[in-house]
Structure 1
């Protein structure tokens, strides 16, 4: 596996999501917290995004909690970026050395992360304890990006996250790292999916939908190949019976790597091909139209 390429794509995805999340969170609340627990070099890239919010930070508090076994000079560089941003005391960095499981829950309590908008990025190499990830749900609303080793079982990490999805990052037929996104409320999941398909492709890195039994590799594109989604939607209809267009869009958004809009495009092709039927049989393919297989 191309480690550098995987690292680059994770960093770009984080940056793209932070660029959307930070201003929205600062408009919503006077205190905002970003938690970064990563063994890689993504912390400085994240800090630069936060530093770009200097105009919005004035009169508010934007805090970065950085956790890791090897902070050292990296912690000093994060503080320097914050100081040079012009945001003054509104942008702060707190660093806590140590492993994620040991320090993250303690750090969240220490900075008063309860009931404030919070985003956590966890990529520390080893899989953290599910309870550690669940601690991030203290935020309101809370969101998290979690990187797990290949073939890690993700069900234990769903606790506390009503919105939850995952994608496999791969460069070959071998299992790749899993990128998990969770949120407690709002349209965060749609925003993550838009960022997911907007990143540039690095050295052949592709996505794989963990729910696709054929393990099809999908090129990163604004209009991704629909094959895996088509198979998963048909299998879902076969298991559950008729479903509305809204339910199928929700299924695609929450249970696959695809977006709700991708589900609509696939449904149009399935209806036109006669693979599925719709009721009513004519008119716009609105959310209340019932699809049967």
Structure 2
């Protein structure tokens, strides 16, 4: 298990998100911006993210990628940052700036990010989350997406979701990262406090890409997921075929409230309001139908988006 298992998962998740975002952004525009800001130490994530662009040298030809990195402690990071810069394609311009999340709006404006694709990763652990101005600055990207790491949360924060939605991110999903306890009971170090990851976007395909990345990270990292919407707080092993229990409960609760919903509506609910992928919805609905816990209309045929599911 890594010394900082939650940090390792966050790092891998960001790298995977960059791997999927970069080709899409550069296909859409000749310029794009990746911005990352850290309240505390980056734990090696900042230079791991920067190194992603080394692998896209061919795709970057004739295009420009600006990478903005903001961190409070920059001395050690500057050494690592400089080492990675020497490997970057000439089309990548990387800037390292001292500061915190509040400096992001100025950095994005100076970097000419407005109107171009923007992906922002903000690690606010150890401090307050981003304010409205910081979130609004990210939405000046066209299109924009935001990945947040936040301190141990209480219940799912409706204010954050509302703030993100009002800022221009209609699609928001959340997941808690929970480190496993040490295997040896005599070890003095306690598992790290849980952290919440929030992803916000305006594009359904990008939400799907995030969910794919979420379930593809290292299953042996010593971290499990917890669905903020699951009242039982069940911990889920990272797997390409996650345990369906919490999703069964959440879909049944949704149908108990709504009475009925189309498969399309339930897939959208799954993608936004649970840790699961939209595609997991059909798998779980099949189990619920077989168990006689829900009904469908029409009664036979493929479980397509316009099929209506009714609570029994």
Q: Shorter-chain TM-score category?
A: over 0.9
Is 2:143 the counterpart of 1:141?
yes
1:127 maps to what in 2?
A: 128
1:81 maps to what in 2?
A: 84
What's the CA shift for 1:186?
4.4
What's the CA shift for 1:185?
2.5
Do 1:37 and 1:66's aligned partners in 2 also have CA atoms closer than 8 Å? yes
Alpha-carbon spacing, 1:156–1:94, altered in 2? closer, same or farther (3 Å): farther
Is 2:36 the counterpart of 1:36?
yes
The one of 272, 280, 286 equivalent to 1:254 is 272
Secondary structure at the aligned position of 1:114 is classed as coil
The one of 205, 219, 231 equivalent to 2:249 is 231
What's the CA shift for 1:162?
0.5
1:11 maps to what in 2?
A: 11
1:171 maps to what in 2?
A: 179
User: In 2, distance between residues paired with 1:118 and 1:129?
Assistant: 16
Is 2:211 the counterpart of 1:208?
no
Do 2:31 and 2:116's aligned partners in 1 also have CA atoms closer than 8 Å? yes
What's the CA shift for 1:82?
2.9
Do 1:9 and 1:202's aligned partners in 2 also have CA atoms closer than 8 Å? no
User: In 1, distance between residues paired with 2:157 and 2:48?
Assistant: 27
What's the CA shift for 1:201?
2.3
The superposition leaves residues 109-159 of structure 1 with CA deviations (integer Å, 9 ceiling, x where unpaired) of: 111111110101111422323312332111111111100001156333332
Alpha-carbon spacing, 1:234–1:3, altered in 2? closer, same or farther (3 Å): farther
User: In 2, distance between residues paired with 1:34 and 1:203?
Assistant: 26
The superposition leaves residues 42-97 of structure 1 with CA deviations (integer Å, 9 ceiling, x where unpaired) of: 01100110121111112111010000111234235324423323x21x10111221
User: In 2, distance between residues paired with 1:9 and 1:281?
Assistant: 42
2:57 maps to what in 1?
A: 54
What's the CA shift for 1:36?
0.9
Q: Which runs of 5+ in 2 are unaligned?
A: 182-190
User: In 1, distance between residues paired with 2:136 and 2:157?
Assistant: 13
Segment of structure 1 superposing worse, 215-224 or 157-166: 157-166
1:22 maps to what in 2?
A: 22
Q: With structure 1 as the length reference, what TM-score do the two structures score?
A: 0.93
Do 1:143 and 1:183's aligned partners in 2 also have CA atoms closer than 8 Å? yes
User: In 2, distance between residues paired with 1:129 and 1:15?
Assistant: 21
User: In 1, distance between residues paired with 2:36 and 2:130?
Assistant: 16
Matches within 5 A, 1:75-114: 75-85=78-88, 87-88=89-90, 90-101=91-102, 103-114=103-114
Do 2:13 and 2:213's aligned partners in 1 also have CA atoms closer than 8 Å? yes
Secondary structure at the aligned position of 2:115 is classed as coil
Q: Which runs of 5+ in 1 are unaligned?
A: none
Secondary structure at the aligned position of 1:129 is classed as coil
What's the CA shift for 1:3?
6.3
1:245 maps to what in 2?
A: 263
Secondary structure at the aligned position of 2:86 is classed as helix
Q: CA-atom RMSD, angstroms? A: 1.8
Q: With structure 2 as the length reference, what TM-score do the two structures score?
A: 0.88
